[in-house]
């Protein structure tokens, strides 16, 4: 194995050969609301399903103090936006049925069409819940069964943050059809299909999933407070009182000196080892998941480059792809086919890098990960790679 001296550190180069497992990634992506013209939370849209036989909150934002009126069927309801611009109206319990049109009147007008009342289910979980019908290669033998206007679905897009967010970004309700079901959770689809056929009422499915997440990551601070073992980490995060955007800005300021003086130095940076045509004659195999100190590279702090070739799963369709590298000690930068797909600082962060699928090819894709360890053990230590259409 070729080694190079940088400062007083020995830097090694490693090539990784690992299986590429498959899963699918869907998760929350949220944005802070902006006020002005009245608007609805993004969960409310054309073709949506609202819960039958129960009070249903409908909410959104407008100018502070602005009157907001809602009409749907025989309901005519009114409220005012509070001092922060938020408003909420409760629809009375309504039997299963529809379609209805919902009108929102404020300074501007909004119309939500083809609204049904029925059963609404939040479908959340790990990679088993992310696995889509397209990944199964499944097609309904009875095309009429796939065309089901009484079964509606919405995928919640991706985000992580330390502070709660008030809205989701992206996602829209779609009736079940051969064109819409392919990118939806297979488990959720079959469950919703069963419910709809056996209950005979509209069914709405909200899919929000991310592989390898524990239940604690989906719980609120209030819910976690019932478990004292989580108090230290909850208190640490709460005391920051900063969202990801604020922390990322602080990191950018810190990295203005860190990157050039320390982090982005060493073998491979100027040579562009992230490129697929890199000469691998001096590289060696290593088994992971593992700390590299336990795999033959002892007493090494600094950078190690990992490389893995992979093919796309047969029949892959999709506009985005996710490489899940899980936890890495300490920092990493990742490329696919020479294109940077993401980077993370901190060994507690879960790496899920979503990127456009148009940089991929059916066979011979090259994933390169530069891992940087600041002290102690280092490496890719939690699991092998997962590729998630």
Single out the residue of 250, 263, 247, 249 nearest to residue 374, CA to CA.
263
Residue 144 lies in a domain: yes
Position 26 confidence tier, pLDDT thresholds 50, 70, 90: very low
pLDDT at 141: 66
pLDDT at 309: 93
Q: Which of 147, 181, 210 is the last residue of a domain?
A: 210
Q: Are residues 182 and 36 in the same domain?
A: yes
Helix (H, G, I), strand (E, B) or coil at 228: helix
- C-alpha 309/C-alpha 280 separation (Å) is 12
Residue 235 lies in domain:
3-23+231-388
Cα dihedral: 339, 345, 349, 353 (round 10) = -10
CATH code of the domain covering residue 167: 2.60.40.10
pLDDT in tens, 103-160: 999 999 999 999 999 999 999 988 899 889 988 877 776 777 889 999 999 999 877 7
Question: Contact 320/357 with Cβ under 8 angstroms?
Answer: yes
**Pairing of β 328-329 and β 386-388:** unpaired
Q: Over 50: is that where the pLDDT of 34 sits?
A: no
Tokens of 385: 């790679």
- Give the mean pLDDT of 209-218: 85
Indicate the average pLDDT of the chain: 85
CATH code of the domain covering residue 264: 2.60.120.260
Question: Contact 37/109 with Cβ under 8 angstroms?
Answer: no
Q: Are residues 17 and 156 in the same domain?
A: no
Q: Over 50: is that where the pLDDT of 30 sits?
A: no
The helix (run of H) or strand (run of E) holding residue 207 is strand 203-209
Q: Are residues 155 and 253 in the same domain?
A: no
pLDDT > 70 in the chain, percent: 89
């Amino acid at each position: 194995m070729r080694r190079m001296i940088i400062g007083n550190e020995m830097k090694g180069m490693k090539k990784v050969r690992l299986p590429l497992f498959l899963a699918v990634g869907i998760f929350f992506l949220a944005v802070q609301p902006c006020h002005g013209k009245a608007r609805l939370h993004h969960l409310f849209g054309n073709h949506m399903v609202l819960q039958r036989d129960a009070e249903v909150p409908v909410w959104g934002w407008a100018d502070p103090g602005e009157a907001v009126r809602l009409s749907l069927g025989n309901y005519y309801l009114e409220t005012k936006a509070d001092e922060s611009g938020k408003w909420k109206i409760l629809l009375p319990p309504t039997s299963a049925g529809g379609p209805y049109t919902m009108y929102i009147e404020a300074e501007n007008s909004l119309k939500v069409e083809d609204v049904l009342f029925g059963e609404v289910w939040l479908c959340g979980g790990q990679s088993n819940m992310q696995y889509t019908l397209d990944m199964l290669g499944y097609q309904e033998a009875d095309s009429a069964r796939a065309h089901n206007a009484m079964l509606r679905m919405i995928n919640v897009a991706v985000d992580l943050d330390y502070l709660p967010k008030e809205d989701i970004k992206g996602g829209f309700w779609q009736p079940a059809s051969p064109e819409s079901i392919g990118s939806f959770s297979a488990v959720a689809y079959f469950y919703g299909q069963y419910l709809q056929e056996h209950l005979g009422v509209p069914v709405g499915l909200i899919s929000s999933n991310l592989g390898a997440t524990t239940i604690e990551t989906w719980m609120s601070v209030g819910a976690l407070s019932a478990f004292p073992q989580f108090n230290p980490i909850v208190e640490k995060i709460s005391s920051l009182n900063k969202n990801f955007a604020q922390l990322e800005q602080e990191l950018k300021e810190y990295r203005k000196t860190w990157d050039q003086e320390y982090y982005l130095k060493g073998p491979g940076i100027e040579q562009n080892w992230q490129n697929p045509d890199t000469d691998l004659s001096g590289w060696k195999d290593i088994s992971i998941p593992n700390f590299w100190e336990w795999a033959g590279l002892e007493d090494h702090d600094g950078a190690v480059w990992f490389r893995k070739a992979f093919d796309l799963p047969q029949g892959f369709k999709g506009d985005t792809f996710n490489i899940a590298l899980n936890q890495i000690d300490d920092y990493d930068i990742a490329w696919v086919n020479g294109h940077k797909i993401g980077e993370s600082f901190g060994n507690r962060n879960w790496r899920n890098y979503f990127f456009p699928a148009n940089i991929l090819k059916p066979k011979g894709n090259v994933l390169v990960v530069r891992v940087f360890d600041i002290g102690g053990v280092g490496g890719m230590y939690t699991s092998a790679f997962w590729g998630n259409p």
